[in-house]
Amino acid sequence: MTTNPTVGCDHEGGPHDACPAAVTSPSFLPGRSPVRAVPDLPVTALGDDRDARTHELFQARDDASDSATLHCAVSDLVELHLPLARSIANRYRTQHGDHADLVQVAYLGLVKAVLRFRADVGAPFVSFAVPTITGEVRRHFRDHAWDIRPPRNLQELRPDVDRASQELTQELGRTPSVGQIAERLGIAVRDVTNTQRAVSTGLNMHSLEALTDSAPSLSLRETIGAPDHELELVTERLSLRPLVAALPERDRSILVLRFAEGYTQRQIASELHLSQTQVCRLLTRILHDLREQLEDPVLDGQA
């Protein structure tokens, strides 16, 4: 097989000397200088000869007689179509996550598209590259971007909902309603609502150990409430309050010392100058009387 000498590497040091490495890096190919910065423009804006150049490079890839020629042709193809990969990555851009990682994933998808494309089929390379890169980016979101993974249909709707929301915001000069987004996409309002809810919860999780904005020394874990079993006693306490208030002072003192202060019967006896036996009998009588009054339906109705 012969190699077109005009196609492949054009770096200093010979046509192929700079490209001996395998294609493994999504951002640039090892053994070559990093790819040049190219504006994020549609591929169609790169020049009228883009399609012809792409055809020449794929011809060089297929006719390559050595690995250096193959690697250089593939590298030039990747570099030529980097704006396409960045454009697709930008479509999936979100405030959650690292956009640089997303661009690298899109570059990797471009490399795979260049390696897998069959020039003899007749279809344009772009028509093959776009779904290949898009699939790579979507798999990245499905596998790595979600803290709580929603159903796959909601994951795939997210970029469409975001894009429609941005377009309508520019057209209307305000945030569009869920109904307007659904109408633009031709889907149910419920699907838009579920997608937005999935994004707000699944892509924006916070650690329980993260500090709060209102109190920098307080973590989120410390602000989470716990079941208050004392609430179950509210009704009984409200019913008991007037009954305790109506007791003689000595009886109230015994209840306070025993149940509020935690005194033992011996300590209560010493405090009130009574015998322990007297305290035991008094406490038993007081509790019996209160229990009867709480169970009396007439008193319950009056309470």
Q: Are residues 93 and 8 in the same domain?
A: yes
Lowest mean pLDDT among 118-132, 178-192, 197-211: 197-211
**107-to-54, 78, 79, 89, 140 alpha-carbon distances in Å:** 17, 8, 10, 9, 12
- Please give the angle made by the CA atoms of 41, 44 and 47, to the nearest 5 degrees: 95
Q: Are residues 136 and 160 in the same domain?
A: no
Q: Is 229 inside any structural domain?
A: no
**70-to-85, 195, 250, 282 alpha-carbon distances in Å:** 21, 44, 102, 101
- Decide if pLDDT at 263 tops 90: yes
Q: Are residues 156 and 139 in the same domain?
A: no
Q: Is 220 inside any structural domain?
A: no
More confident of the two residues 278 and 37: 278
Q: Is 51 inside any structural domain?
A: yes
Q: Is 234 inside any structural domain?
A: no
Q: Are residues 121 and 63 in the same domain?
A: yes
Q: Is 303 inside any structural domain?
A: no
Q: Are residues 2 and 86 in the same domain?
A: yes
pLDDT band at 37 (very low <50, low <70, confident <90, very high): very low
The CATH number for 102's domain is 1.20.120
Q: What pLDDT, on a 0 to 100 scale, did the predictor assign at position 280?
A: 93
- Per-residue model confidence as pLDDT tens digits over 151-183: 778 777 887 888 888 888 888 888 889 999 999
Q: Are residues 65 and 190 in the same domain?
A: no
- Decide if pLDDT at 2 tops 60: no
pLDDT band at 6 (very low <50, low <70, confident <90, very high): very low
Nearest in space to 29 (alpha carbons), one of 78, 101, 82:
78
Q: Are residues 1 and 134 in the same domain?
A: yes
Q: Kindly state the DSSP code that residue 211 receives in the 8-state scheme.
A: B
To the nearest 10 degrees (0 to 180), the angle between helices 189-202 and 178-185 is 110
Domain boundary among 127, 145, 163: 145
pTM beyond 0.85? no
The encoded tokens of residue 68 equal 């250096």
* CA atoms of 110 and 128, how far apart (whole Å): 10
Q: What pLDDT, on a 0 to 100 scale, did the predictor assign at position 121?
A: 78
Q: Kindly state the DSSP code that residue 150 receives in the 8-state scheme.
A: -
Q: What pLDDT, on a 0 to 100 scale, did the predictor assign at position 282?
A: 93
Q: Are residues 260 and 195 in the same domain?
A: no
pLDDT band at 212 (very low <50, low <70, confident <90, very high): low
Q: Is 126 inside any structural domain?
A: yes
Q: What pLDDT, on a 0 to 100 scale, did the predictor assign at position 24?
A: 40
- Please give the angle made by the CA atoms of 69, 75 and 13, to the nearest 5 degrees: 60
More confident of the two residues 290 and 159: 290
Nearest in space to 81 (alpha carbons), one of 58, 64, 100, 59:
58
Tokens 């979101």, residue? Answer: 141
Average pLDDT, integer, range 188-217: 73
The CATH number for 287's domain is 1.10.10.10
Q: Is 9 inside any structural domain?
A: yes
Which residues are CB-contacts of 246 (< 8 A; sequence separation ≥ 6)?
Answer: none
Which residues are CB-contacts of 6 (< 8 A; sequence separation ≥ 6)?
Answer: 56
Nearest in space to 162 (alpha carbons), one of 136, 198, 196:
196
Average pLDDT, integer, range 95-103: 72
Q: Is 211 inside any structural domain?
A: no
User: For residue 4, which amino acid is it?
Assistant: N
Percent of the chain scoring above 90 in pLDDT: 27
Distance of alpha carbon 140 from its chain centroid, rounded?
Answer: 13
More confident of the two residues 266 and 17: 266
Q: What is the mean pLDDT of the chain?
A: 76
Q: Which domain holds residue 249?
A: 239-296
Q: Are residues 159 and 273 in the same domain?
A: no
- Decide if pLDDT at 29 tops 60: no
Q: What pLDDT, on a 0 to 100 scale, did the predictor assign at position 281?
A: 93
The total of other beta-carbon atoms located within 10 Å of residue 237's CB is: 10
- Decide if pLDDT at 104 tops 70: yes
Q: Are residues 158 and 110 in the same domain?
A: no
Domain boundary among 121, 145, 169: 145
Q: Are residues 37 and 119 in the same domain?
A: yes
Q: What pLDDT, on a 0 to 100 scale, did the predictor assign at position 91?
A: 82
Burial class (CB in 10 A: 0-12, 13-18, 19+), 21: middle
Q: How many domains does the chain have?
A: 3
Q: Are residues 126 and 172 in the same domain?
A: no
